[in-house]
Amino acid sequence: MPERYILMIRLTLSEIAERLSGTLYSAGTDATADTVVDGPVETDSREIVPGGIFVAKRGDDTDGHLFVGAALERGATLAIVEHTVENAVAQIVVDNAVAALGELARYVVERVRSTGNLTVIGITGSNGKTTTKNMLERILSAEGETVAPIRSFNNAVGAPTTMLRATESTRYLIVEMGASGIGDIARLVAMAKPDIGVVLKVGLAHAGGFGGIEATLRAKTEMVTDLAADAVAVLNADDSRVASMAQRTNARVVRFGEDPAADIRATGISGSRTGTSFTAHVPGEGAVAIRLRVLGEHHVSNALAAIAVAHTLGVPLARAAAALETLSRAERWRMEVLGGRDDVTIINDAYNASPDSMSAAIKTLAQISEPGKRTIAVLGAMSELGEYSGEEHDRIGLQLVRLNISRLVVVGPEARRMHISAINEGSWDGESVYFGDMDAAFDYLAAEITPGDTVLVKSSNSAQLRFLGDRLGELFSW
């Protein structure tokens, strides 16, 4: 069985049905109320493995109930459905499949926590959740069995799916908690009841859905408002909005950042095309120099958050630092370094893009370029910004000019405003070009990129420039 399929704890069908207030139907199968299931829980029938549990959720474009048969063919032993489906598999009928998934996750975490061995860490923030999760997983997996999200599983489906992978032997459960509106994080916190809640940043990511930065702040604050008095809130001291959350929690507060008042602090930050260096300071342990192989000074904040959690859990700074230095990339398509031939560096950072992360990536591009070498920014749209979209794309266009990025390549009509803003800044003459699609941009870049160039590819996931980044990386690979 592939490594990602960590089994759920053993539960009987009757236990599951009772907890979900559902009705068990097992006619035509060998299953009974006492049948035990412990397979991985999936909402995608293509991911089902023998013994798996399929949750037939309804989506915008399709209905999971249409795929119960496919799940059965792949070996599912239970389907959680909103109405019975004529397939020879045990089914538990519930009112809402997504809500049932969350309730099952809550039950599993409760059961595992009752063993006294489990620590739950929740992570939220407008940027950096996945990178911080990966850093913390790298540290904690050397200390004990650790369950963490696959990719960016952080919503009402992905977060509970992660929680359901916890078993009696799990020592640390890391849960990313994303949100598209007020109340989303509160629901995930209620499911997982974190012992440690981490807030990284409050920015404009998804601001269009939230309705503005202040609404985003309220949503992210949900991470700490319901923490227990014996829990710990790990807060970014360099973000004033996050720092203000210390007044909204009953938990003990640990602050991280470059701020001299931070508990977990970084000094001496510097970056290059091969990584990022800094010195971490931890109370009672002194200072340790760390060299991340992950590009971008903005990732130092994520590393400090991971160190703060590790310190809270009693992991020595030296061990945490050594673990961080083994991490070769933040995540697939996140500041991922490709290429290498002809001294060409391709930085593929096109899985997500908010104004903050776009700005940080561009600053990194400017900082790591060697004297006399060119920098090229290949940018697509930042999505889900609502009324802020125009002005934020304008701001990025101006920043590119002011940081003296050698060449701007804008891809896709939703991002064209960056191109226009860069031209209107008046500093450039032909250094900004626009293409309506990725193929045209690739053809241009394949001819334009010269030895020694450093190329950043950055966009929101919906713009799909990550695939353009992969093509450029392959073109300039050894």
Binding positions for ATP are: 125-131
Which residues belong to the annotated binding site?
125-131
Q: Using DSSP bridges, classify how beta strands 454-458 and 345-349 pair: parallel, antiparallel or unpaired.
A: parallel
φ and ψ at residue 384, rounded to 5 degrees: 60, 35
Give CA angle at 106 (217, 182), nearest 5°: 20
**Token output for 21:** 């207030």
Give the type of residue at 382: M
Q: How far is CA 82 from the centre of its chain?
A: 30
CA neighbor of 248 nearest in space, from 272, 220, 276, 270 = 220
Any bridge partners for residue 55, and if so which? Answer: 80
Residue 291's DSSP bridge partners are 277
| Residues near 354 by beta carbon (within 8 Å), at least 6 away in sequence | 126, 127, 203, 204, 205, 206, 382, 385
The number of residues in the chain equals 478
